[in-house]
Structure 1
Amino acid sequence: MSDSAYQAFGHLLRFWRKVRGISQEALALNLQSSTRHISFLENGKARPSESLVEAIGETLKLGERDTSYLRLAAGYLARSPAVDFAAPEFRWLRKAMLLSLKAMDPYPAALIDRYGRLLMVNRSWVAFYRDSVGDEALARIENHFEFLFRRPPEGAAQEPWHHMLAMVLMYTQQEALLTNDPIYHAMVRELSAHPGVPEDWADIASGLEPMASFRVQQSYQGKVRHFFNVSLNVGAVGPASYVSEPRLAINTLYPEGDELDLGEALTSDLSHPLLFY
């Protein structure tokens, strides 16, 4: 072990110990450890076990965010317990997301969770996709990733679509391997079995860096058109932002050209189970 292998954990431990006003001796006593071991942890000369990291977080009365920082600094994956977006305590968040989606009209936008499950859509999303999918089929769509795996419109280039499939699969595969979450494992099985997925999807994805925006082709009003697909993450800031719950993202389509007016499709008869205004 190098002298600086776990310095980040030591710095965090010392910081929180001083914030709480606890001496090394008192912390060691509470943890049923030794003062010498606490000193080694703070100096980066020892690595804590995962259970010790959790015990330190509890002893220092750290919340989920700050315990996540400790876990990451010690070399362990931060935990992200699932939460219910529909729970009463998230009423304020649902209101904020609704206002965000409304503000994005006339551009199609949908709110999704970390598994790609659709939580909310705006009126433009309904108007845009019912043009090619139809109202009944659109109402049955539950997962954004599965929706992306539909066949591209006839005449669209195959390579961008294959790249998109590869990147979605790589995201779910790595989440599955890192977290051992059965939902991600099931997603990998289902998505990789899709007939459009190239056999070398992992090799394809390895050559592509994830981006917040990429170009896609969609059928709209009988023509294949070019759009920018943009994803905006909604969550905490900082090193552990990716484990803040609920992990949400807003996915939006913007026309690449200026000539397409999506606002023309915003009629008064729009309805969808996830449209709340």
Structure 2
Amino acid sequence: MAIVASGTTASPTAPAAQGVGPLLRSWRERRRISQLELALRADSSARHISFVETGRSRPSEEMVLRLAEHLEVPVRERNALLLAAGYAPRYRQTPLEDPALGPLREGLERLIRGYEPYPALVVDATYDVVSANRGITMLLEGIPERLLAPPLNAMRLTLHPDGLAPRIRNLREWRGHLLAQMERQVALHRSAALRELYEEVAAYPVPRGAPETAEPPVRVPYFALPMRIEHDGRVLSFVSSISTFNTPMDVTVAELAIETFLPADPATVEYLHSSWAGESRGAWRE
């Protein structure tokens, strides 16, 4: 599944009419940091931070970026802060299909293909899938076409009652993990699209009788919460890992995440490798 342009992106926050101060105060309160603590982190003073927040002092461009860094403001929102302070945006937002991002696309494709036969995918800020390998394709076999229509969304595919949800043996556990992950992202990003997605998938019904946990037939000392999913009459176990780019200078790149699924038990490893070996005989569909 090649890299494609995602269907939606997180909406940027419009600069507040009253200036950068209230925006910075909102981010500081969201992070539950005092003016004094922020001042110490940013090598400033609580008095200066107070003056900036109340509009009595206009921060320099460097100060805006320094405060944004210590407040862990997403790259997209740093542009909004700069605009509100009267400065030009610092970070580009290059469409993923732009030739300038060709090396990035090629690198991501090589990365997730190299992870096969284990599943791996790349998603954007609203969990739309921009690329996936054949390990993911295998898990999606039998999913209704309407759920596979672009833009393919990882959260919808996983939690929809017609998606992967009925196949996940520990659905309540895994659903709780995914919703908590989304809640953290909603708290971090000011994205109406992300909040709407969260409200949509959180409202999906959980099948009756779905257990809180699903014990494997053989006790395995899992080192992280696994997703235990049925495939072709077997139960496969995976733990997931999410990676993002270090110090991105582009909004599009900053909002990409690579999720890889590591087999959590020997039986899953054996099954995936045997299926991969049989791919040339039609075991996995392209």
TM-score bucket of the superposed structures, by smaller chain: 0.5 to 0.7
Where does residue 78 of structure 1 map in the other structure? 73
AA in 2 matched with 1:12? A
The yes-or-no answer on 1:56 pairing with 2:59 is yes
Where does residue 6 of structure 1 map in the other structure? 36
Where does residue 118 of structure 2 map in the other structure? 107
CA drift of 1:55 comes to 5.4
Where does residue 229 of structure 2 map in the other structure? 218
What is the count of residue pairs matched by the alignment? 211
Where does residue 44 of structure 1 map in the other structure? 46
| Change in 2 beyond 3 A, CA 1:192/1:45 | same
The yes-or-no answer on 1:263 pairing with 2:273 is yes
Superposed, 1:198-277 pairs within 5 Å as: 213-223=224-234, 225-236=235-246, 245-258=254-267, 260-266=270-276, 267-268=279-280
| Change in 2 beyond 3 A, CA 1:99/1:138 | farther
Contact 1:124 1:265 in 2 (8 A): no
CA drift of 1:167 comes to 2.6
Q: What percentage of aligned pairs have identical amino acids? A: 14
CA drift of 1:183 comes to 0.6
| Change in 2 beyond 3 A, CA 1:220/1:137 | farther
- Structure 1 unmatched runs, 5+: 14-41, 199-211, 273-277
Equivalent residue for 1:89, pick from 100, 116, 122: 100
- Report the TM-score, using the length of structure 2 for normalisation: 0.59
AA in 1 matched with 2:120? A
Contact 2:240 2:260 in 1 (8 A): yes
AA in 2 matched with 1:71? A
CA distance in 1, matches of 2:175, 2:207: 6
| Change in 2 beyond 3 A, CA 1:56/1:91 | farther
Equivalent residue for 2:200, pick from 183, 190, 202: 190
What RMSD in Å do the two structures reach over aligned CA positions?
3.9
CA distance in 2, matches of 1:47, 1:117: 38
